Amino acid sequence: MYICPRKKNKTQYNVNVLKKIEKEEKMKKLNRTNATETVKYPTRILQFGEGNFLRAFTDWIVNKMNKETGFNSGIDVVQPLANGMIELLNDQDGLFHVYLKGIKNGKPVTEFTLVDCINKGINPYSDFESYKASILNPDLRFVFSNTTEAGISWEENDTLDMAPQNSFPAKVAAMLHMRYKAFNGDTSKGLIFFACELIDRNGEMLKKLVLQHAEKWQLGNDFITWVNTACCFCSTLVDRIVPGFPRDEIKEIQEELGYEDNLVVVGEYFHLWVIEAPEWVQDEFPAAQAGLDVKFVKDMTRFREQKVQVLNGCHTGSYAVSYLSGIETVRDAYENLEVGNFMKELVYDEVLPVLDGTEKELKKFANKILERFANPFIRHQWQSIALNAMSKWETRNLPSLINFNEKHGMLPQKLVFSLAAMIAYFKGEANGEIYNVQDDQWIVDFYKQAWAECDGRPISIYNLCEKVLGLDKVWKQNLNEIPNLTITVSHYLFLITQVGMKRAVKAVLSEDNPLMQITIDKMSN
């Protein structure tokens, strides 16, 4: 028997329409007009960098301190480069949500936090006066920065009268001089810098370059004395995996939030901030009172070496291997049999043996790090890790390679393979796929030309590797001088070009794999 479906009556139809309208009305644009529960704090922090990491880390920390300790500090965010996302930040009145996903007290947890401590975003290239006003704010006390590993560098062409200068250290030198003059050398108007760039002794390096600019620009001994006595440059170590914008699930997230937030940033629950600073700085930045894992220490060397070379080193050492194997996320790579074993062997066999600490202590630390890679809630894209890979490899992986070679009198094969994989990645093409390579333009141009000149023959591959390893601008030395490194890298790179990354990884994981003979035989011809 056929039963005719019931037709919706007018009342039912109207209810559904109203529900749809109600849903649409709830999806309000995130700003301070619609989000009435926000607080406006006095600006006490200037932040260089508007990217995902600082927003999910330092801004999240300040937000928590404001809510739980009365820290009462707002942030003005400076866009370090001419192109950035400040407009998007200002469009939301500085508001965004941090979406934490991970393990808390042994249990899976997801947590949304509305961060409201950013007062405004500034593009100094288009609105220098606003930038200047923030610098001369008498209440300003702290400066946060994450301008990437390449950010704390010397730029010869920067001058005092530029508006603004190109490099970050030059910007800092100019802003401090501006502040020094405006407040007549008042020592209470000095600033505390928390450098978050992943380079060794980041705070010290920043101060060194700032003083170099002061000397070059002839800003005077009184100003230099003021910088040395009234300002404090703290080296720091930051640790939180931040995959960034949750593109695949943003619609569901926005529906849950009830706001159209186009700056949602995902991070793991774990966080650690190690700050090397005098005790009085801790009094001014009472993060511990908010239950945050922020450690003030006298010497952060051990913390830095372990974190940078294990966590960041594994990321940078594995990104090209993983991506060219057709794997897009860290978790998927870690759970892959070959690539996962590559990551583990790189860490346990080649990185840990050159770090200070007991074997038990180091293995325990590494276990915790690698467990984070398997976080089921985090989709950390290898393409985001690939950003500025050359400077990252120099900072994160090269020390392990050099120290291993010096300690054991032989090359660490996984690290060498990682270097070859990175060179392969910079070709920008694999398996017929063309992908975008993001790095300093001169590096992108260098690889484009170098690969164009390479015809794939063993000698041509060797010449390509020799060019890359000779880039002292990146490596701060000529890596061709390390015995057997150039020929070994070229062996691996030739293998990758001949059999593809998947089969090449299997080869490097097994000394007896016959694929290894391919490269040896052909390179000898």
Q: Which CATH superfamily is domain 301-524 in?
A: N-(1-d-carboxylethyl)-l-norvaline Dehydrogenase; domain 2 (1.10.1040.10)
- Encoding tokens for residue 87? 């407009």
In Å, what is the CA distance from 160 to each residue of 47, 153, 157, 189? Answer: 21, 16, 10, 20
In Å, what is the CA distance from 39 to each residue of 93, 129, 516? Answer: 12, 25, 62
Structure confidence by residue, pLDDT tens digits, 389-439: 999 999 999 999 999 999 999 999 999 999 999 999 999 998 788 999 988
What are residue 239's DSSP bridge partners?
272
Measured distance CA(165)–CA(175) in Å, rounded: 10
**Confidence bin at 8 (pLDDT 50/70/90):** very low
Position 521: which residue type?
Answer: D
Looking at the chain, how many residues does it have? 525
Q: Which residue has the higher pLDDT, 238 or 24?
A: 238
Model confidence at 518: pLDDT above 50:
no
Of 291, 272, 246, give the one whose Cα is nearest residue 98: 246
Task: Say if 29-297 and 301-524 have the same CATH topology.
Answer: no
Across all residues in the chain, what is the average pLDDT?
Answer: 90
Please give the average per-residue pLDDT across 124-133, as a whole number: 97
Segment among 278-282, 427-431, 493-497 with least mean pLDDT? 427-431
Measured distance CA(341)–CA(219) in Å, rounded: 55
Asked if residues 75 and 63 have their Cβ atoms less than 8 Å apart, the reply is no
CATH of domain 29-297: 3.40.50.720
Structure confidence by residue, pLDDT tens digits, 333-383: 999 999 999 999 999 999 999 998 889 989 988 988 888 888 777 778 888
Written in H, E and C, the secondary structure of 14-48 is: HHHHHHHHHHHHHCEECCCCCCCCCCCCCEEEEEE
- Greatest mean pLDDT among 108-112, 208-212, 254-258: 208-212
Q: Which residue has the higher pLDDT, 493 or 109?
A: 493
Residue position matching structure tokens 């066999």: 349
Position 300: which residue type?
Answer: M
pLDDT of 16:
52
Q: What is the pTM of this model?
A: 0.71
**Residue ranges of domains in the chain:** 29-297, 301-524
Q: Which residue has the higher pLDDT, 510 or 362?
A: 362
pLDDT of 326:
94
